[in-house]
Each structure stands twice: as structure tokens, then as C-alpha cells.
């Protein structure tokens, strides 16, 4: 089987990382890159010995797959053009800036039988990947995603810039529809929302409390999951997860757990155990690109589909609307 030919559109910070990683992935052939700033494209291309193209059309005519890492406002136009060229598309999050645009792209990809994957990279974080063997059924989720100020990304609200990562993960874990949303937020250093908190209530009774800020002194990317007989802590910066569970004595494996005590008596006796899942040595960005290529080659549903990206965008927009509706304006 011939290797699929892939290109990158947009070589800012993230697009440059994608380009360098694709050059290392053996399951594809990196053909070249395109950016509106052709000089920048030439510089990046020279670093990894690939080609810079002066037009999208020229690049699209030579590839089967494309990674799109342009500004969010341009996602719709570029993705639509790529799909019209019959290309399988990986587009960075958020999928688009408007729900109607995302809906059209998802419909188009389905109609043309093309893969559309959205770059919610935290789905591939080692902390989350290490929990694959566990049955996650959250009753309550608490997330805190705090970042030091960086002008890059302030053209959109922190809900779309940072919080959407956690929204996507929560929606993938809680198998239920969102019932109610309560949210608050403020603009501090930019013209958009810089700090936001949202409470998501689901039809099945589960609740998620989500906080995001891009003007924190220190970085923090943590998630805490509370479920029946268990508590799980994830640190997306270190890639480490910790699991506290109640298990029956007969489930105990010698030397496998640290035991903190017990609850109940007789048949209802449970042991309180702690375990730290094995840390997966994964480059999340590279891993999601490898899985995108695999999904395109074998026509498999991607881990983060266009529909997933659309669903996360819908919830993010509802949060932003709730924040805007709650603002008090003084004369």
C-alpha cells in the first residue's frame, strides 16, 4: 500500500509542531505546507526539507490528507475547500467559530465519506490514556485549566481557547445529554472572556464544574472524577493519574494495591485501595496525528470526530451566551 500524501495548512506555533511531527511519522509522506505568509512557510519548509506552496490549490492537488492549523475564523473556508478536493481533514480545535459552519462541514464530510477529525489533543494525554482499563462513569467532575497570559489565542473567549478541551473530555465520559448550564465569567486583559466557570448538569444526574483562566500565575490542568465507589485524579501537565477505589476483598491482587483501610462488614465489606496507573510514554500531538492517518487509510471513525467537535462547540457557545446574558452594564 502506498503511503498517503499529507500536507499542512497554517504554520504558526501549532502548525509548525504538526509539520515537524508529520515529518517523523513513517505511515505518511509529508508533501509540503502552505501559509498566507509565504516567507514563513519557506522558513519552516527549509528546516525539515519539505516544500512550501504558494497556493492552497497547488498543495491540495498533490495530497490525500491535510492538517489545518489556521486561525479559528478561517477553519470553515479552508476545511470546506479541502473536503471539496476530496481530502481527509484534521482540523485544530475548535472545529469552527460558528455552529452552523461546523454542522455544514460535518454533513459534507459524511456525504463525501471523508474523515474529519478535530484536534482535541487532551483526549490523547497520557493521564487519560492510562485509564483505558477502568470503567469511567462520572457522577461529578471538577476541572481546573489555568494558564499564564499569552496574547496568542485572545481573539476568542477562554471558553473556546482552553475550556473546550475539558468540555470535550467531559462529553466523551458522561454518556448523557446536557440538561442545564450555569456560567459566569469576566474580561480582564483582553476584549474577550479571560476567566470563566460553568456548571453543566446532565439528564442522568451527573454534574461537571469547569473552570478556565488564561491569566493565572501558574499553569494548572487538572481533572477530578467522582463516581460510585471511586475517585480519580488526572494531571494533564505531568500525564499522571491516581485512582482511589472501593473493592471487594476477593478482587484484591497481592502487591498490586496500596490499602488504606476498609468499610462495612461481612458480605458488604469493601477495601479502600490506591493505585497509580502506568504512565504511558506518549507524545499526545504525534499520537493523535498517527490515529488520524490510520482512520483515513482504513476508513475508521476517528477518536475525535467532526460530530464530537461540533458537540463541544455547541456547549461552549451556550456557556459563552450564559456569561454574556449575565453581564451587568452600567451607564
Q: How confident is the model at residue 331 (pLDDT cuts 50, 70, 90)?
A: very low
**CB–CB of 269/248 below 8 Å?**
yes
CATH number of 5-119+284-304: 3.40.50.720
Per-residue model confidence as pLDDT tens digits over 157-194: 899 999 999 999 999 999 999 999 999 999 888 788 99
**CB–CB of 160/315 below 8 Å?**
no
Per-residue model confidence as pLDDT tens digits over 102-112: 999 999 999 99
The SS3 assignment for 36 reads coil
Task: Give the list of residues 6+ apart from residue 282 with CB closer than 8 angstroms, or none.
Answer: 124, 126, 129, 239
Residues of the chain with CATH 3.30.360.10: 124-278+317-325
Residues of the chain with CATH 3.40.50.720: 5-119+284-304
Distance of alpha carbon 125 from alpha carbon 240, whole angstroms: 9
Class at the top of the CATH hierarchy for domain 124-278+317-325: alpha beta
Per-residue model confidence as pLDDT tens digits over 29-45: 999 999 999 999 999 99
Mean pLDDT of 96-101: 96
- Residue 289 backbone phi and psi in degrees, to 5: -70, -40
Amino acid at each position: 500500500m502506498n503511503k498517503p500524501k499529507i500536507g499542512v495548512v497554517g504554520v504558526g506555533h501549532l502548525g509548525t509542531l504538526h509539520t515537524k511531527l508529520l515529518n517523523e511519522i513513517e505511515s505518511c509522506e509529508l508533501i509540503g505546507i502552505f501559509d498566507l505568509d509565504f516567507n514563513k512557510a519557506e522558513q519552516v519548509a527549509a528546516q525539515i526539507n519539505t516544500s512550501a506552496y504558494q497556493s492552497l490549490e497547488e498543495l491540495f492537488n498533490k495530497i490525500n490528507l491535510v492538517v489545518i492549523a489556521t486561525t479559528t475564523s478561517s477553519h470553515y473556508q479552508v476545511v470546506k475547500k479541502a473536503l471539496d478536493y476530496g481530502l481527509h481533514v484534521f482540523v485544530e480545535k475548535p472545529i469552527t467559530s460558528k455552529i452552523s459552519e461546523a454542522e455544514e462541514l460535518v454533513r459534507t464530510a459524511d456525504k463525501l465519506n471523508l474523515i474529519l477529525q478535530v484536534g482535541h489533543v487532551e483526549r490523547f494525554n497520557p493521564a487519560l490514556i492510562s485509564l483505558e482499563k477502568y470503567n469511567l462513569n462520572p457522577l461529578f467532575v471538577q476541572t481546573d485549566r489555568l494558564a499564564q497570559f499569552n496574547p496568542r489565542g485572545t481573539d476568542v473567549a477562554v471558553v473556546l481557547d482552553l475550556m473546550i478541551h475539558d468540555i470535550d473530555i467531559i462529553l466523551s465520559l458522561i454518556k448523557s445529554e446536557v440538561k442545564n448550564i450555569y456560567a459566569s465569567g469576566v474580561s480582564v486583559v483582553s476584549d474577550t472572556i479571560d476567566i470563566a466557570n460553568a456548571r453543566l448538569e446532565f439528564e442522568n444526574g451527573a454534574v461537571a464544574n469547569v473552570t478556565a483562566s488564561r491569566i493565572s500565575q501558574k499553569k494548572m490542568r487538572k481533572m477530578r472524577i467522582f463516581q460510585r465507589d471511586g475517585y480519580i485524579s488526572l494531571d494533564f501537565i505531568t500525564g499522571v493519574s491516581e485512582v482511589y477505589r472501593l473493592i471487594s476483598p476477593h478482587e484484591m491482587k497481592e502487591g498490586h494495591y496500596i490499602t488504606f483501610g476498609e468499610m462495612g462488614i461481612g458480605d458488604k465489606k469493601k477495601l479502600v485501595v490506591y493505585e497509580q496507573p502506568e504512565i504511558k510514554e506518549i507524545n499526545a500531538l504525534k499520537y493523535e496525528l498517527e490515529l488520524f492517518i490510520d482512520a483515513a487509510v482504513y476508513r475508521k471513525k476517528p477518536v475525535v470526530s467532526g460530530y464530537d467537535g461540533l458537540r463541544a462547540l455547541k456547549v461552549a457557545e451556550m456557556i459563552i451566551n450564559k456569561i454574556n446574558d449575565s453581564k451587568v452594564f452600567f451607564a
